[in-house]
Amino acid sequence: MFFGRSWDEWIEQYAQSHQHPVNRFCHTIGIPLIALSLPLFLVAPFVHGFWDHVRDGPAGGRVSRASGGFGR
């Protein structure tokens, strides 16, 4: 099937290789963030000002303006 392995062999190898606590933590945080970001990127073009909070950020936009980005 896939490089001479069956689907079950791929799943077994994946399960064995993803047991390290750091790997599990990264997947626990990263996969939901990716899943959340996909619909947001689909909605963003249709909502005026959707990314303003990203541009302004916690520093109120001072960092991005000081670096020459996202000028107002």
3-state secondary structure (DSSP) of residue 19: coil
The reported pLDDT for the residue numbered 3 is 77
Q: What is the CA radius of gyration of the chain?
A: 20
| Residue-wise pLDDT tens digits, 13-40 | 888 888 889 988 999 999 999 999 899 8
Domain ranges across the chain: 7-66
Structure-model confidence comparison of residues 29 and 59, the more confident one: 29
| Count of Cβ atoms closer than 10 Å to residue 10 Cβ | 13
- Cα 66 to chain centroid distance, Å, stands at 27
Structure-model confidence comparison of residues 47 and 68, the more confident one: 47
The verdict on pTM exceeding 0.85 is no
